[in-house]
Every structure is written in C-alpha cells, then in structure tokens.
Structure 1
C-alpha cells in the first residue's frame, strides 16, 4: 500500500485508523516514507468510510488554522452529486 501511495499523484489520503504507523514504531517509518518527497494531506481516524461506497464521491475537510501545529481535529464531509 505504501508504494502505491508514493507512486500515485494524490492530493491527500485518508485512513480509518489512529495512525499510519504501529504504536510501537517510535521512528514513524511509514510517515517518513510517505511524506519524504510529497506534499499531501494525511487524514487519520476517519469513520463510516463504508458509507462512501465504491463510486467516486466528493470529499472536503475543514481544519482549524493553528500555527506551529502538526495535527488537529477537522470536520470531514463526503457526498455524491
């Protein structure tokens, strides 16, 4: 999966897990591999992804703008047209 994301032309990626790396991985190896040469948004802890189905859909997320912060809660919405 990591290779496919690195090779893709994505603006962002979203996951339904707490983090990309296992809790025991203090080096954050997956984060480092994914974001080394990319400028994409990483959204973690999404829920109800099964409701998005298999078709293309619109997705938006609205983070709070906080300086010197590596992560924060967002309002995530998805819809079909």
Structure 2
C-alpha cells in the first residue's frame, strides 16, 4: 500500500524530502517565506506522510528479503506486493 515501484524511486523521494527539510531550516533566517514554501515540497516528495513513507520502505525491504515482487502493472492506481508462487 505504501510502497513505490522501485527501491531507488523510494529512496530518491526520501532524499528529496530530507533535502527540502534541511534547506528549509537553513534558509529560515534569511527568508521565512522560502522556508515555508519548501515544507510542502518535502511533504509531496514523501506522499504527504513521512510515517507512511517509512512504512513503505520497511515493507519494500522486507518483501525483497523474502523474494516477493511487485505486481505489474498497477492498474487500479494502488500497487500491492504479490507473494512468490508456491509450486
């Protein structure tokens, strides 16, 4: 439910969020408006919820360790993990 299509994409979204938050703190003294404008950038990067982003990262790492794969394509707009076939 919270997982991106790839680990690289998920980590890139987290890096963008972190960069926007750090930049917001660093420019806060010089320009409060710019600092406040960077906060929505951070929230959009993680999909609106930092905890959900973290849960998605945990789900993705756990599924990769188990050998599960992401169903393709995500037709309904929501992606879900598919367990490996049991043969």
Please give the TM-score of this superposition, normalised by the length of structure 1: 0.29
The structure having more radius of gyration, on CA atoms, is 2
Q: Counting strand residues as a fraction of each chain, which structure ranks higher?
A: 1
Larger relative contact order (CA 8 Å, sep ≥ 6) = 2
Please give the TM-score of this superposition, normalised by the length of structure 2: 0.28
